[in-house]
Structures are given as C-alpha cells and as structure tokens.
C-alpha cells in the first residue's frame, strides 16, 4: 500500500517538474520591460535643422511645441514579443484637431504615419495620454495638428531619452532681412561711426549749413548797413 502511494507521489512530483520546466520559459518570455522616459519636444527637425511650421518663429514656436508635448510622464514598454510601445502626454487638446504622428527616417523625412491610441484623458488639465508603437526608443517623430485658435497647421518634433538625462534641443539662427539702403554704423567710416551719418546725408547737411550760413551773413550785412546809416544821420 505504502509502495503504491510512494509511486503515486513520485509520479506527481515528476509531472510537476515537467510542467515547471515546460512553463518556465514561457513565464520569462512573457515578462515585459518598462522604463520611465522623457519626451523632448522640438520646433526644429532634429535631423535636418529645418523649421517645417509655417509660422517659422523659433522664439514662440519652441514654447508652443512644449505646451503641446509634455516632457513627462513618458513610458517605454517592450512586450513579450519585443514590440516597443511609448506612452506620452499631449496638451492643448480642446484647442486642436486632426492630430497626426509620423515616423522620420535617417534623413529626417517622413517614412510613414504612426497610429496612436488614447489610453487616458485628463479633461481638467486639457491633456491626453497617447500610446504608439515604434521601431525603437531612438525613433524621432513628426507631430502635426490644426490649431483652432490660430486657424492653421502647427508642426513640431519629438525624440525620447531616459528620464533625467540632459538633451540639447536643436535651434536655428534666423537672420533678419536688412534693407540694402539701410545705414550700418559698423560699415561706415570712423566719423560715421561716431555721428551715425551716412555720406549722402553728410552732403545734404553741409548744403543746409551753407545755405543757413549765407542767410545769416546776409542778415548781418543788412543790419550793419542799417547801423551805419543811422550813425551818418546823427
């Protein structure tokens, strides 16, 4: 009797061991990797250095994109099959429509559209959490939407980095258009640097001074003649 029970116990033990060995790899493969990230919003295409928004105003544009793309919370999730998901938060929800996300290739041009799911909403904050599937954490995205108050399309970019890591945001230098006829103090002679008067203006000023001097001399001469006549009468 005891021998039969022992055999049953041994058999059950072997079965349990085989089941554990069978399902252990499945358990490891099913583990998902999760990591906190930060979204890096940029008004400038990080790969080309070009502003694609028609407003073309770096000073205002960067702030606008930062209001649209929240830096955190952002989460990286790699599932059991190795698919990379990123969840990030967007703002200005009530003021925008036709939101679109596109993946950039190595040259900074659009490769394909990226579908997204709204996984959470914060109506009081006017924000939503979006989840997307991307090739990897180093993916760079182009985001566009129509701003209802502005009545036009707005374009920005997102890249991702580990939370807390300092990432330089790309910028561009915008040269102001200068009229060819404008006077530049630095391009004039030393005297012009002091007075700020161009050569043409200098000539006009000298002409004016000459006329004024002539008028003064005429008045002085007339006054002198008048005085001499009065003296002769006396």
Domain ranges, ordered by start, for the chain? 31-162, 185-233
**pLDDT band at residue 197 using 50, 70 and 90 as cut-offs:** very low
∠ CA(212), CA(216), CA(221), 5° rounding? 150
pLDDT band at 211 (very low <50, low <70, confident <90, very high): low
* Per-chain mean pLDDT for the chain: 77
- Strands (E) across 91-140 are located at 96-104, 110-113, 116-122, 127-134
Could you tell me the fold of the domain covering 31-162?
Immunoglobulin-like (2.60.40)
What would the two tokens of residue 109 be? 């041009």
pLDDT at 169: 87
Residue 222, pLDDT > 80, answer no
Per-residue confidence (pLDDT) for residue 18, from 0 to 100: 47
Averaged over 15-33, what is the pLDDT?
51
User: Which one-letter DSSP state was computed for residue 51?
Assistant: B
Give per-residue pLDDT as tens, 115-172: 999 999 999 999 999 999 999 999 999 999 999 999 999 999 999 999 989 988 888 7
Q: What is the dihedral of CA 48, 49, 54, 55, to 10 degrees?
A: 170
Tens of pLDDT along 84-125?
A: 999 999 999 999 999 999 999 999 999 999 999 999 999 999
How distant is the alpha carbon of residue 98 from its chain centre? Answer: 19
pLDDT value for 192? 39
In this predicted model, what pLDDT tens digit does every residue of 74-87 receive, in sequence order? 999 999 999 999 99
Q: What is the pTM of this model?
A: 0.62
φ/ψ region of 98 (left if φ > 0, alpha if ψ in -120 to 50, else beta) reads left
């Amino acid at each position: 009797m005891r021998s039969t029970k022992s055999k049953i116990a041994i058999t059950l033990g072997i079965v349990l061991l085989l089941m554990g060995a069978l399902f252990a790899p499945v358990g490891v493969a099913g583990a998902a990797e999760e990591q906190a990230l930060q979204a890096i919003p940029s008004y400038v295409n990080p790969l080309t250095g070009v502003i694609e928004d028609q407003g073309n105003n770096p000073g205002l544009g960067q702030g606008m994109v930062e209001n649209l793309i929240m830096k955190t919370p952002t989460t990286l999730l790699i599932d059991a099959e190795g698919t990379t998901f990123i969840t990030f938060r967007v703002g200005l929800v009530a003021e925008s429509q036709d939101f679109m996300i596109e993946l950039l290739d190595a040259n900074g041009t659009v490769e394909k559209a990226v579908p997204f799911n709204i996984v959470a909403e914060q109506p009081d904050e006017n924000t939503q959490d979006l989840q997307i599937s991307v090739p990897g954490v180093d993916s760079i995205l182009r985001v566009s939407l129509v701003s209802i108050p502005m009545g036009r399309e707005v374009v920005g970019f997102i890249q991702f980095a580990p939370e807390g890591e300092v990432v330089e945001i790309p910028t561009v230098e915008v040269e102001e258009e200068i009229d060819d006829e404008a006077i530049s103090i630095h391009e004039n002679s030393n005297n012009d640097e002091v007075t700020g008067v161009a050569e043409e203006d200098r000539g006009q000023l000298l002409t004016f001074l000459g006329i004024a001097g002539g008028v003064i001399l005429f008045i002085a001469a007339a006054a002198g003649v008048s005085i001499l006549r009065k003296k002769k009468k006396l």
